[in-house]
Structure formats: C-alpha cells, structure tokens
Amino acid sequence: MVMRRGYASHFARTGNLTNTERLLSMLAGLGLTVAALRRGGPLQRLGMSTAGLSLLSRGATGYCGMKAAVSGERTLREGIAEQLRRLRDLRGSAAAHIHTMESMLIAELQELHSAEAQLVQLLDELADTTRHLPLQQQLRSYATELASRREDLERMLVSDGADPREHPDQAMQALIHETWKMSQIATPNLRDAALVASLQRIIHYKIAGYGTVATYAKSLGRVDDAARFAEYADREKEVDGELTELAKSRLNPDAALESRPRTPPEVRPH
C-alpha cells in the first residue's frame, strides 16, 4: 500500500524523529551545552549553547524543524515554529490555565475536539485502503458521524468562550500513529484485522474521555451536557461492538486463512 502525502503529513504531527534520533539529539545537545560552559570565547560559547539547546529541544519534542524543511513538509520558518510550539506544550502551558473544575472540563473538551478531528482524517484515509467492503462502509459512516460530533463540540466550546483548537490531544496523536503503522502491513486481510484492533483501542480511549467529561459536567450542574456526553460514550460502545462483530465474523477468519502457509502442489512422477 502506498501512503498518500496528505496521510503522511497528518502523522508528521506526532513527530518526525525516530527514538534513536531523539536519543542522539539529547546526548549531543547535552554535550554541547556542557562544553559551552567550559571553554571557548563568548561567541563560540553562544554558538555551542544555542546549538545544544536546539538539539535538546529536538530530542525532547521528537520533532525537527530543519528535517521538516528538507523533506518538504514545511518551510524552515514553519518547521522551527512548530518545534517551538511543541516545546511550549511540554512545559505544560495548557495545564497552567486549569484552575477550576470548569476550566478542566473545557480543557478535556478541547482535547476531545482535537481527537475527533484527527480521527476523522484517519478514517477517511483508511477507508480507501481496506479490502473488505463492510469495513469501508463502517469507516466512512463513522467518519461522517464524528465530523458532525466535532462540530457540536466546537459550537459548545465557542459558546463557553474557548478556542476549540487551543488544546491538541497528544495522546490521540500517538494512538493514531500506531494505527498508521498497522496500515503499512502488506497483507491486505491481515492489515484490515490489525486496523480494526487499533481503532478499537482508540475507541476505548474516547469512551473514557466522554465518561470523564460527563462526570465533570454533572458535577457542575450542566445536566444537559452531561447527558449528551454520556450518549457519545454509549455510541462509542456501540461502534466498538459493531467492529468486534465484524472482526469475529469476517476479518479475523480471512486474516487467519491468508496467513496460513501455502502447501506446494504435489508433483506426480511420470
């Protein structure tokens, strides 16, 4: 399966460095920063410390603006800005604004809005790669449903005076990246089975998220909102059950059959 560019750029948001690259960046950055404290003139120290801090940032965030520019994903300016934004997120800038139960509810809703937006894009892409028609239909229907739900969450956040895009869900980014890796399995039936398993992990994560905001909303006396969030959680459970049934009845048996070693044809002596 060939991954389309839009699909690749979507997952670039989870980071564009491997674990090895991150570790090497951290070690090199630490070495340069320590060296800047010990030797060289003022300009040399400034250069080494700047390079060291840049490498530490690169390793900590898992994202390199320069690499993004070289690959054509972003301009150099955009890549550096993205790297700095990720560094600010690591410092807990979003959490610093949470002082009350109300603000905690808003932050959770912002993450759910982000999660749904990410998942809609993923589902649209995966629907084009699956072999089983029932799974394609399920993914497209689910994507349409989530797009509408995302709009509902956005309206709710705007009515509360909050920016829907202020608090990106990094946990969802990681889950989606794992699902993307499953989409690279070459064997079609096995790939479909693996994708459903990964999607169900994402759904379980969202069930917990909607259950949490339903509890928060109820504690704050927002009864109607609490009921709506509980409905979202129940709907996620229904989708999870539908995917389980599809996996048991079609996807897993087909994947198991496809994975069996083929017996070479018997050669009869003449």
Among 172, 176, 171, 163, smallest CA distance to 107 is for 163
Region of residue 167 (phi > 0: left; psi between -120 and 50: alpha; otherwise: beta): beta
Kindly indicate the confidence band of residue 35, based on its pLDDT and cuts at 50, 70 and 90.
Answer: confident
- Kindly report the pTM of this predicted structure: 0.66
Asked if 10 contacts 122 with a C-beta cutoff of 8 angstroms, the reply is: yes
pLDDT digits (tens, 9 = 90+) for 159-179: 999 988 877 888 888 888 888
Kindly indicate the confidence band of residue 20, based on its pLDDT and cuts at 50, 70 and 90.
Answer: confident
| pLDDT at position 13 over 60 | no
| pLDDT at position 41 over 90 | no
User: Helix, strand or coil for residue 86?
Assistant: helix
Cα–Cα distance for residue pair 141/171, rounded to 1 Å? 24
pLDDT digits (tens, 9 = 90+) for 72-120: 777 888 878 887 777 766 655 555 577 889 999 999 999 999 999 999 9
Higher pLDDT, 103 or 29: 103
Asked if 1 contacts 129 with a C-beta cutoff of 8 angstroms, the reply is: yes
- Mean pLDDT of the 5-29 span: 65
Dihedral of CA atoms 91, 92, 97, 100 in degrees, nearest 10, equals: -150
Q: To 5 degrees, how large is the angle CA 212–CA 155–CA 163?
A: 80
Kindly indicate the confidence band of residue 53, based on its pLDDT and cuts at 50, 70 and 90.
Answer: confident
Cα–Cα distance for residue pair 143/36, rounded to 1 Å? 51
Which domains does the chain possess? 5-90 (no CATH), 99-258 (1.20.1260.10)
pLDDT digits (tens, 9 = 90+) for 195-225: 999 999 999 999 999 999 999 999 999 999 9
Asked if 146 contacts 123 with a C-beta cutoff of 8 angstroms, the reply is: yes
